[in-house]
A and B are shown apart, each in its own frame.
Chain A
């Protein structure tokens, strides 16, 4: 990852901008949502592999910063929602797409199914992923 950041610096002009946009694990909340309300029914489990990936990315940008390749201009977190019509669709997606780095406890599944079943006709389920966006600026002359 550090090498990739060095490559990016190489192809950017002096004072060029790098935007790093990525999800970060933080036991993302599971919610049942209707026009009336949003209710949290549990949180996803972060697996060690996912946490290690986040740590590796953080370490790489820290190295790039220490090497004076980039300076951090701006940073913020924001929510990125995944929303499904039904709990079963959500469970299927999580098992198929996210099983390498996070999971869902049975108690959360049950709580979500129950809350959804008791909800209004427009009730959906969602996972609120946490996103990190950082703006970096190239420092000094670029490498050849």
Chain B
């Protein structure tokens, strides 16, 4: 299979045009295998990626770039019941998941 997804990288361009991730505490809902996460997490203060798909999270855990090991945390959780206290994040990203 020779599938290329978004070769023009429009998704990343628009994401950065719409949001400044610098020094933000970010929650990504529906992070999947981390395809989008790796494109913005570098400049965040911290990033938590959640998904209900455990297989996708395993792939994301293996693929997580070495420079993001401490900055990005991944968890199996549902957006209907977020396991975080009130006012934990500066920015939330609903990634292909609404």
Contacts and interface: CB of A to CB of B under 8 A. Distances in A.
Contacts of A7: 79-82
A131 B36 CA distance: 14
Residues of B contacting A: mostly = loop
Interface stretch (A8-16, A39-47, A107-115): A8-16
Nearest to A15: B90
A12 B27 CA distance: 9
B69 interface: no
Point out which of B18, B79, B84, B97 has the most chain A C-beta atoms below 10 A from its C-beta. B18
Contacts, number: 122
Interface residues of A, number: 41
Nearest to B83: A11
Q: Bin chain B's interface residue count.
A: 35 or more
Contacts of B19: 17, 19, 135
Interface of B: 1-8, 10-11, 14-15, 18-19, 27, 29, 36, 79-82, 84-98
16 contacts: A1-B98, A7-B80, A7-B82, A11-B87, A12-B92, A16-B91, A17-B19, A18-B92, A18-B93, A21-B11, A22-B96, A79-B8, A79-B10, A81-B5, A81-B10, A131-B10
